[in-house]
């Protein structure tokens, strides 16, 4: 199926975004230039132990993307393909940092297409300066009061510092 068959190009960029990093923000900004509308969808992943609640992650994403008019921030708890149907979207955006990401992302893309043959996944490679960056690394650095100011937007840095200060109280 060619991209012309999709009409308005609504893409969904799903993830846990715990926290949103500059790497995520780079993928969001670059994807927003490609698609008519980009829905950044925060997954409530029960297998992870999040630092931020889903509501906090949604709010942080809203703050850091407020200057990108065609980006919508949302959350979901369902299968991604079911969420895509609710949003009338057929395109998934996934960021690739390194070759090691590809195997997992290919498996997920194949599974999503098996569940709904109208869903396509677009892989966007990370900008080289963010190719090592992950939310897990950022949390680990911040947990031990290391500098994350160049790794996350300022509002996220402040929110993380507040979380870790409160955790120590």
Binding residues for substrate, as ranges, are 16, 48, 80, 94
Parallel, antiparallel, or unpaired: how do β-strands 37-43 and 91-96 relate?
A: unpaired
Binding residues, as ranges, are 16-17, 24, 48, 80, 94-97, 105, 130-136
Q: Which of 90, 97, 126, 139 is catalytic?
A: 97
Q: Which of 90, 126, 135, 139 is catalytic?
A: 135
How does 11-48 read in b/e, with b if 16+ C-beta sit within 10 Å? bbbbbbbbbbbbbbbbbbebbbeebebbbbbbbeeeee
3-state SS assignment for residue 21: coil
Residue 48 annotated to the active site: yes
Residue 47 annotated to the active site: no
Q: Which of 24, 57, 90, 139 is catalytic?
A: 24
Residue 135 annotated to the active site: yes
Q: Which of 48, 62, 86, 129 is catalytic?
A: 48
How many Cα atoms are found within 13 Å in the side-chain-facing hemisphere of 7?
Answer: 4
User: What is the rounded distance in angstroms from the CA atom of residue 1 to the CA atom of residue 91?
Assistant: 12
Determine contact, residues 35/70, Cβ cutoff 8 Å: yes
Binding residues for ATP, as ranges, are 16-17, 24, 95-97, 105, 130-136
Structure tokens at 101: 């990401």
Q: Which residues are catalytic?
A: 24, 48, 97, 135
């Amino acid at each position: 199926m060619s991209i012309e068959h999709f009409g308005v190009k609504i893409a969904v960029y799903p993830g846990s975004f715990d926290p949103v990093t500059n790497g995520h923000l780079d993928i969001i900004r670059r994807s927003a230039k490609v698609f008519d509308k980009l829905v950044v969808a925060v997954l409530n992943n029960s297998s992870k132990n999040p630092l931020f609640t889903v509501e906090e992650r949604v709010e942080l994403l809203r703050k850091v993307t407020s200057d990108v008019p065609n980006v919508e921030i949302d959350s979901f708890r369902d299968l991604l393909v079911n969420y895509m149907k609710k949003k009338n979207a057929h395109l998934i955006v996934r960021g690739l940092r390194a070759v090691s990401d590809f195997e997992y992302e290919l498996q997920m893309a194949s599974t999503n297409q098996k569940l709904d043959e109208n869903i396509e996944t677009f892989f966007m490679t990370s900008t080289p300066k963010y190719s090592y960056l992950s939310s897990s690394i950022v949390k680990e650095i911040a947990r031990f009061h290391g500098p994350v100011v160049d790794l996350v937007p300022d509002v996220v840095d402040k929110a993380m510092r507040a979380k870790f200060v409160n955790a120590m109280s």
